Structure formats: structure tokens, C-alpha cells
Amino acid sequence: MASALHYQTIAGLSAQLAAGRLSSVELTRAVLARTEAVEGRIRAFNSRDEADALKQAADSDARRAAGRSRGPLEGIPVGLKDVIAVTDQPLTASSKMLANFISPYDATVTAKLKQAGAVLWGRLNLDEFAMGSSTENSAFGPTRNPWDLTRVPGGSSGGSAAALAAGTALATLGSDTGGSIRQPAALCGVVGLKPSYGLVSRYGLIAFASSLDQIGPFTRTVEDAAIMLGAIAGHDPLDSTSYRTDVPDYRTALAGKRGPWRIGIPKEYFGEGLDPEVGAAVEKAIAFYRSQNCEIKEVSLPHTQYCLDTYYIIATAEASSNLARFDGIRYGHRAADVTDVEDLYSRSRAEGFGAEVKRRIILGTYVLSSGYYDAYYLRAQKVRTLIRQDFLNAYQEVDALLTPTSPVPAFKLGEKSDPLAMYLCDIYTIGVNLAGLPAVSVPCGFTTGGLPIGLQLIGQPFRETELLAIARDYEQGHDWHTRVPSL
């Protein structure tokens, strides 16, 4: 692995900090210097507060000196997607609607990271209100892929993936509604974990589609993902969808889990539209698991063909409802020189929202409207149940499912101007959100052009330890995760 501090793992840096060979201030200064050097080309951040980061780092060093270290994240700089609330920091969702909004409170995951001693560093760019697959929909401009600056980093959590890949944070948080952690992780060559729905609190996350959204980490290794998940998981009374379940020490539990595993290959995920180089890299991953004495079995998820339609009915309907609060009255963008309340409402929303957000609000309002609710939204919820049952049926025979993460590697900025072409980028990831399952993307190779390829593993509900162990076994047999872009 690259020896520079900004490219090392949480596990390794934590050991150096604990041994006194490194201070959090030194580490944070290294990350700040790296950011200063490359951010102008990547544009992963919406805002940065260097002074605050250094103060947090100094506080961390003081705790450690006093024997009050809070664990493996103590003193580690972690970046947050700009839809996760941090007290007194900007919270924009990469939208003109919230361009000047400062959060008055912490999200639950933010509070948990503070309790774990992490240095919270920067607000990371995204597709506006997390609606997109390329981070080109940001009102503040696109983020670029560190592996090729002419290409997208994926989305919607593109800033979170790109910052990690570029070495401008040691770990980051994103949100995943239909693949928005896993797809950019694949395109940027890092690990991205989408936990089971309800395992991580959504309190303080700007909502897109509340029955699909989930917060999760981007890291360099599977072990680091386990460390991050251990810090942010757990029941939260502030989130009515938070699930009561035991939260183990994922890192310790991971160390004790070994295969061989029963791995299912969904035949519906290897058809038309899959880039040949992506398909070949995933086939090699399958061969690796077979060489480790894992049982490889083809399975069927017969309702996969309905995932895209179902997702874009449910997600847009919930977005229409969630974004109704942005009306120019209480907070957010407010149009000037309005004539009445209706004018204020319509002009504030027209000026504040970008084209993709408006497109989804209109579609969602339509499918919820009188006379169409039963035909679209209610029917989509019924199909969603069938999609989830497909996964549960498969888990009667296998421990996890293996698929590509994205059908294509990183594409060029501006290449997919057609919304439907962009939506198809999430074809392998949206079923996981509809079913509420955990899934992880790990690096599994590179194209001949040097672009990262991601492997997706889909686990059973609330069995993250097993899922991470299966991913860890692949990671330990390869060095893809140790490679870094030459910026």
C-alpha cells in the first residue's frame, strides 16, 4: 500500500497513533496538505473548515495523552456527504435550495462519530438531493474521478468516493438510496458498504426516499468498513425506522469468521448491457471463490426485470413528499419580489431545484395523484414485496449473492445526457434497497484503460459480519484495494 499518510488505512493509522509514533494533528495536517494539492482538480468538497479540523485533532491528542482514547477512530479525519447534519456546518444537499443553510444540530451518525473520537472533516459533493449516478447534478459543479479527470466518480455520493480515492479523507460517509454508495465505490476503486435498512439511524439525513435511504461508509479496506460500521450502527429512538438488534464489534467478529461460503450467482445480473471487461473481472472473482472451496451456485431472482420501474415509482413518490417542505417560507431559497403566497411557493421551488430534482418531483407527484395511486404506487409496493421474497428464497440455498456493482466502468462527464441511460447505471444495485438488504462493493480489477471495477456482494438482513467476512476473503487474495491513482 502507498506509504503516504493520506493513503493508509484506519487500522494501520490507529495503531501508529496508539503507539505514539504519530499525532492526530500531524495526520490531519497531512490530509489538509493533500487536499490543498489536489482538490482544485477533483472538486470533491462543497465546504471545508481547516481550523475546526485542527482543533478537533488537538482535542483528540489531548484525550489520548490523558489515557482517554475512544477507540480505533480516535483522531482519524472522516469526511461527510453534504446531506448529513453537523452542528454549525453547512448542509446544502448540493442544491441552490439550501446553498446558505447551516445545520443547527448533529445527525445521529455525526454524534456517534464524535463520540468515537473521529475528526469530522469537510462537506462532500453529491448529486443534488442525492438524485443521480454521476455527481453531475450538483448545483455547485461536478466532481471528477481521481483515476481519470475526464470521467465521473459515480453518484450520488461521488464526492465521498472521490475524496477517499484521492487521499483527501481517511474514510467518508455517504447515503445509498439505489446504489449511491456502492456504485461510486466501484467507479473510484474503494470499498463501499450499504448496511441493512434500519441498522444505521437516518436521523439528521436529508431525506430523499425514506423507505430506501441508508447511511454507510466508504473505506480503503473491508476491516476499515467494519470499524466504521461499528461506530455508526445501533438503534436510535429518534428514527422511527431504526431496528432493534444487537450490534457486535464488527471488527473483532470479522476476524473470527472464515469460509468456505455458499455463494449464489443471479443469472439475471449477467445479461445484456454488461461491459465485457467488467464481466470478465467478475468472472475471475467467481473463479477465485471456487478455488477457495466455496460452493458456487446459479440462482434466479425472477422479478429483477421489474426493479427499475418499481424503484422509480417508489423513490420519486417519496421524494415528492419529502421535498414538499422546501417551499421558501421557513428556510431554504426564497424568491424575491413575489406577488402572493402561491407565487412565492412556485418561484422559490422553480429557482431552488435543478432539472433532475424537478423531474423526479413531477413523476412522484403524478404517481401519487388521485386516480393513479392504486395503479402505480400501490402496485409498485406489491411488486417490491415480490422482489424482496426473491432474495429471501435465494438465501435458503446460499449465504450471499455475487454480482457486478456497476454494468460499466466510469463514463466520461456529459456522456449520459439521457436520463434513462443514467438510471440504467444502477440496475444491479437498486434491488438491494427495495429489499432492505446489506451489500458491499469491493475493488476487483481494472479495465485496460486503467479504470477501477467493482464486485458487489449482497448479504442477508442484519448479517453484516458474514457479508464483510466474505468480502474480506476476496480482498485478502488480491491487491486491487492497495492501488491508488497518480494525481
Which positions are catalytic?
81, 156, 180
Between CA 346 and CA 395, with CA 202 as vertex, the angle to 5 degrees is 120
Please, which residues bridge with residue 148 across strands?
145
- The answer to whether 423 and 307 have CB atoms below 8 angstroms apart is no
- The answer to whether 50 and 32 have CB atoms below 8 angstroms apart is yes
52: Cβ–Cβ under 8 A, 6 or more apart, which residues? 89
Residue 246: how many other CB atoms lie within 10 Å: 7
3-state SS assignment for residue 24: helix
- Integer Cα distance of 75 and 68 in angstroms: 12
Cell of 109: 451518525
Nearest in space to 164 (alpha carbons), one of 121, 195, 201, 206: 121
- Integer Cα distance of 52 and 50 in angstroms: 5
Q: Given the DSSP bridges, would you call strands 77-81 and 439-446 parallel, antiparallel or unpaired?
A: unpaired
Between CA 214 and CA 225, with CA 219 as vertex, the angle to 5 degrees is 65
- What does each C-alpha distance from 65 to 12, 289, 395 come to in angstroms? 19, 45, 48
- Integer Cα distance of 62 and 432 in angstroms: 42
- Integer Cα distance of 167 and 315 in angstroms: 33
**Which amino acid is located at 288 in the chain?**
F
- Integer Cα distance of 84 and 107 in angstroms: 6
Cell of 340: 402572493
In angstroms and rounded to an integer, the radius of gyration of the C-alpha atoms of the chain is: 21
- Integer Cα distance of 58 and 62 in angstroms: 6
3-state SS assignment for residue 23: coil
Angle between helices 355-368 and 307-322 in degrees, nearest 10: 100
Q: Given the DSSP bridges, would you call strands 191-194 and 439-446 parallel, antiparallel or unpaired?
A: antiparallel
- The answer to whether 442 and 471 have CB atoms below 8 angstroms apart is yes
DSSP 29-68: HHHHHHHHHHHHHH--EEE--HHHHHHHHHHHHHHHHTT-
Region for residue 20 given its phi and psi (left: phi exceeds 0; alpha: psi -120 to 50; beta: otherwise) = left
